[in-house]
A and B are shown apart, each in its own frame.
Chain A
Amino acid sequence: DTGVSQDPRHKITKRGQNVTFRCDPISEHNRLYWYRQTLGQGPEFLTYFQNEAQLEKSRLLSDRFSAERPKGSFSTLEIQRTEQGDSAMYLCASSGDPLKEQYFGPGTRLTVT
């Protein structure tokens, strides 16, 4: 069990550019979550996958955001036409059982200049 990994760890981009982040969950976990964390706040839910199906999306997830989990393993989160307000830490978590603990990756810190 190597834990949840995320790539890249840091991303600096100019406003208007597209960015894509990757998350590799714990291999036997079928549930995958994306959260966003801004400075001084707790993580806020963005979206949830069970296997390859995206079953829930937060109102925080605007049309510029899209997430996929094509084979029920790794997931990607893409932000199109980035805005300065998108600057945050993007966290991925996975879980093997509902209502039990979620295991978090180290996060991808996005800075939009």
Chain B
Amino acid sequence: GDSVTQMEGPVTLSEEAFLTINCTYTATGYPSLFWYVQYPGEGLQLLLKATKADDKGSNKGFEATYRKETTSFHLEKGSVQVSDSAVYFCALPLVGTGNQFYFGTGTSLTVIP
């Protein structure tokens, strides 16, 4: 069935370093793809999304490109900040009655000053 596989963490970076968190998907069609972020003690927030192949989602300096040829949706940021420390989840909606989301296992990012 449809799923996402996410790079395992945890990831520790120094401030201003470049970030990549890998996400690959398996899907029968071309679903929308999402990245959610969970800050400590909070619920999930949508970070960005892409609705079709070659789309680039972007928000708060983060970007991810929906690549059909490699079935990937990697999250990138050119210069991370301490405030980016959080857990990041890749997700896609499953085909079915409710279109509930299938989430990756999450990647914990810690940015040190």
Task: Give me the interface of A with B, judged by CB distance under 8 Å.
Answer: 4, 31, 33, 35, 40-45, 48, 50, 55-56, 91, 93, 98-107
Contacts and interface: CB of A to CB of B under 8 A. Distances in A.
Interface stretch (B14-22, B37-45, B60-68): B37-45
A91 B100 CA distance: 13
A91 B43 contact: yes
Contact of B101 (A41, A43, A55, A56): A43
For chain B, give the interface size range.
20 to 34
A69 B91 CA distance: 25
Given A31-B98, A43-B103, A56-B98, A99 B31 contact: yes
Nearest to A45: B100
Given A40-B105, A98-B93, A100-B32, A48 B44 contact: no
Interface of B: 6, 31-32, 34, 36, 42-46, 49, 89, 91, 93, 96-106
Nearest to B9: A40
B49 A56 contact: no
3 closest residue pairs by CB, A with B: A42-B103, A48-B98, A45-B100
Nearest to B102: A45
B100 to A, nearest CB: 4
20 contacts: A4-B43, A31-B98, A33-B101, A42-B6, A42-B91, A42-B103, A43-B101, A45-B98, A45-B100, A48-B98, A56-B96, A56-B97, A56-B100, A98-B98, A98-B99, A99-B31, A99-B32, A99-B93, A102-B101, A104-B45
